[in-house]
Structure 1
Amino acid sequence: MSVIQNIIGRIAVLRGGKYSVEVDVATDEGFGRFTSPIDDNPMLHIAEARRAVSEVDEIIGPELIGFDASEQELIDSYLWEIDGTEDFSHIGANTALAVSTAIAKAAANSRDMPLYSYIGGTFATELPVPVLSFAQDDMFDYYLVVKDLLEVTDIIDATNKIREIVKEINLENLSKASEDVGVELGLEVALGIGMKKEMDIEKVLNLVEDYNVAYIKPIGPPELFLELIAGTHGVFIDGEYLFRTNSVLDRRYYNALSIKPINLGTLTDLYNFVNDVKAEKITPILAEAKYEPADETFPHIALGLRCPAMLISWSSIEKINELNRIAEELGERGRIITFEE
């Protein structure tokens, strides 16, 4: 057993200068710490962050002291009971995620195990491919995909070279640069695009076909997703918009889904949802929130949940470095997944 002795909350600053809650969990045998990210419309200004800290210190912490930290599912279900709502609107999904993840890290630490092994078990050895968000313009967010990574750092080399080459950010320039850099590095380098507004279906299909696009996050009606699935080959169609707006979880409409842990709540909720996505034969992509902590936990969760890819900012150096450390730790047991549909 690894009995929880103390849980402490504090205010933490995220990338972009936003505030969130950081949670420390101490057991009789281990320690865990996690700061929750927040997403596009952050409610956690300083006053809200202080309220979240109070929830942890005065309500959640005292309720969880004495629990065995390894009983993750039990603890996460109890967090729902403490909250008493259907969407964590009382304590907040961000607070629930911070507590849940810190507890998992404490349990892993008590067993002297890396978090990815604690979550995923012995066979959690397939490293997720990092898909980097690295540029944007009025039309698209741009991502870089290296389909045949040999080393984790290949994606950084490719991103740096493209950023050096391209002086004006647009789809045509980035597409050509990605192809040229792929030839130079001997890698299969491709673009990902995230649409910022709706476009004609035929135009979207042409963009995917003409501009070396391997991954797209469309915005539009269900018909657009159906056409993209039918009209493309080997391209990941991310259904985040369709799931968020219409609650559609269906392989007929898309073959990939970016998943932000902050939108689920506890680690157990995230684990169950990733498995639901896999059951539909849809590729789960663990995705950063808009505002993230400088924290190494994200790649451990992606690997432990066996997500084939993780969607992060090119500036999230701590996550890239940790993925590289994990690859070194796994050695010959580790394998970088080929990012192909």
Structure 2
Amino acid sequence: MTVIENIVGRVTVLRGGRYSVEVDVITSSGFGRFAAPVDENPDLYIAEAHRAVSEVDEIIGPELIGFDATEQELIDSYLWEIDGTEDFSHIGANTALAVSVATAKAAASEKNLPLYTYLGGTFTTELPVPILEFASDSEFDYYVMVRDLMEITDVVDAVNGVLSNLKEATVEGYSEATEKASSELGLDVALGLAQKAPMDMEKLLTLVEDNNVAYLKPMGDEELFLELIAGTHGVFIDGEYLFRQKDILDRRYYNALSIKPINLGTLTDLYNLINDAKSERIVPILAEARFESSDEALAHMAVGFRCPAVVLRKDSIAKLNELIRIAEDLGERGRVITFEG
């Protein structure tokens, strides 16, 4: 039976020494555990994490005991009902996500299925392209992506190749290093940029045009995005800033959208946004939060929900290794999703 028998919360420590809540969901013969990341609130103190645990143990858990763990949409909608706000400001998005993902893990465990198969079904065979963040300065976060990826490990080799060829920590220096890494490895290694500070539109366009940039996450108004879409070719313009600031989901402004599960609250919300993006012909890219645990579930979400790419940090070893395991599990059935701008 997949009936929930108990739900337990505890304080967990995230990367960077932040705190969040970890949740166990227990059925008669299934078990799921998930530690929720934190993105927008870097000052989440331990007292707040303890409050989240109390919400799980005293309110959410007792309400959900007796629910069927396979009824994901029903459970996720009930979490919204328990919260009673429009943005999970009462129980917290991290608390809701921890319960939601742990429930899916418990149901998958009960059915003896890997989480990606449980989420996506029997014909889930596509692997996302990992985009690795490897450096940062006052203007940009820097990423490496491999446009002709064949193996998950290719992107690790690419990052190592870029770092070994790096002579100057500038956009131009990183771009030159990607080109040298491409030549040495026989891979199409490209650069990604996430804008951290306002920049003149012409300067930004010139940087993209003059360097080996395949992925750009800008920050600015609608005009900036329109100019970037019109002025670039084969480049992924990530609309996360425009979507988060103005709730704009429109292919005219951007062709990719990085999505952090913590900003939505439940698996159902994540699934719906991914499908909404696809219906707009926008590439959904699953992304890590600023402060993550070592939990491997993000890799399963990316595969199960057929996201063509996943953004990770180069030290996200657990998630990268889980993608390698999933690829091994899929064997000859597995293939990397075509990822073209």
After TM superposition, the score normalised by the length of structure 1 is 0.98
Aligned residue number for residue 116 of structure 1: 116
* SS class of match (2:26): strand
Q: Is the 8 A contact 2:165 2:180 kept in 1?
A: no
Partner in structure 1 of residue 280 of structure 2: 280
Aligned residues: 341
**Inter-partner Cα distance in structure 2 for 1:10 and 1:41:** 19
The equivalent of 1:126 in structure 2 is 126
What is the alpha-carbon distance in structure 2 between the residues aligned to residue 44 and residue 109 of structure 1? 31
Aligned residue for 2:39? 39
SS of 2:135's equivalent in the other structure is strand
SS at structure 2 position matched to 1:33: strand
Q: Which moved more, 1:324-333 or 1:162-171?
A: 162-171
Checking the alignment, whether the CA contact within 8 Å between 1:149 and 1:338 is kept in structure 2 is: no
Give the conservation status (yes or no) of the 8 Å contact 2:11–2:20.
yes
Are the counterparts in 1 of residues 36 and 94 from structure 2 also a CA contact under 8 Å? Answer: yes
Distance in structure 1 (CA, Å) of the matches to 2:306 and 2:232: 25
Which deviations, in whole Å up to 9, do the C-alpha atoms of 1:158-182 show, x marking residues without a partner?
1012122225311111100101101
SS at 2:133's partner residue? strand
- Tell me, in whole angstroms, the C-alpha distance in 2 between the residues paired with 1:298 and 1:167: 34
Q: Equivalent residue for 1:164?
A: 164
Residues 243-252 or 45-54, more deviating: 243-252
Q: Which residue does 1:303 correspond to in 2?
A: 303
Per-residue deviation, residues 88-142 of structure 1 (Å, max 9, x unmatched) = 1111110000000000000000000000010011121110110001001222110
Distance in 1 between residues matched to 2:148 and 2:339, nearest whole Å: 7
CA distance in 2, matches of 1:229, 1:12: 41
Residue of structure 1 equivalent to 2:247: 247
Question: Is 1:100 paired with 2:97?
Answer: no
Deviation string, structure 1 residues 217-258 (Cα, Å, up to 9, x no partner): 011221111011111111000011111122111100000010
How far apart, in 2, do the equivalents of 1:197 and 1:222 lie?
16
Partner Cα distance (1:244, 1:6) in 2 = 35
User: Does 1:62 find its partner at 2:51?
Assistant: no
Q: Given that residues 165 and 181 in structure 2 are in contact (C-alpha distance below 8 angstroms), is that contact kept between their aligned partners in structure 1?
A: no
The residue number in structure 1 matching 2:326 is: 326
**Alignment-derived partner of residue 49 in structure 2:** 49
Q: Secondary structure at the match of 1:310?
A: strand
Name segments (4+ residues, structure 1) moved above 4 Å.
none
Residue 87 of structure 1 pairs with residue 70 of structure 2: no
Q: Could you tell me which amino acid in structure 2 is paired with residue 171 of structure 1?
A: V
Counterparts of 2:154 and 2:301 in 1: how far apart (Å)?
Answer: 22
Q: Tell me what 2:27 maps to.
A: 27
Instruction: Give the counterpart letter for 2:178 in structure 1.
Output: S
Shift of residue 300 of structure 1? 0.1
Choose 195-204 or 249-258, whichever is displaced more: 195-204
Amino acid at match of 2:208: V
1:125–1:330 contact (8 Å) kept in structure 2: yes
Q: What is the identity, as a one-letter code, of the residue corresponding to 2:244? A: R
SS at match of 1:191: strand
Counterpart code for 1:123: F
Q: How far off is 1:183 after superposition? A: 1.0
Answer whether contact 1:136 1:169 (CA < 8 A) is retained.
no
Q: Distance in 2 between the 1:86 and 1:219 partners? A: 25
- Aligned to 1:91, the other structure's residue is in SS state coil
Unaligned runs of 5+ in 2: none
Mapped partners of 1:288, 1:72: distance in 2: 22
Question: Which amino acid in 1 is paired with 2:324?
Answer: N
Gaps of 5+ in 1: none
Per the normalisation by structure 2, the TM-score is 0.98
1:339 positional shift: 2.2
The amino acid across from 1:299 in the alignment is A
SS at match of 2:257: strand
Deviations along 1:197-221, whole A, 9 cap, x unmatched?
2222222111111110000001122
Matches within 5 A, 1:147-186: 147-186=147-186
Matching residue of 2:207: 207
Q: Does 1:290 align with 2:296?
A: no
User: Separation in 2 of the partners of 1:6 and 1:51?
Assistant: 19
**What are the Cα deviations for residues 46-82 of structure 1, in whole angstroms up to 9, with x where unaligned?**
0000000011111111111111100001111111111
Q: CA deviation at 1:43?
A: 5.0
Q: List per-residue Cα deviations over 1:277-329 (Å, max 9, x = no partner).
A: 11111000001100000111111001111110001101000000000000000
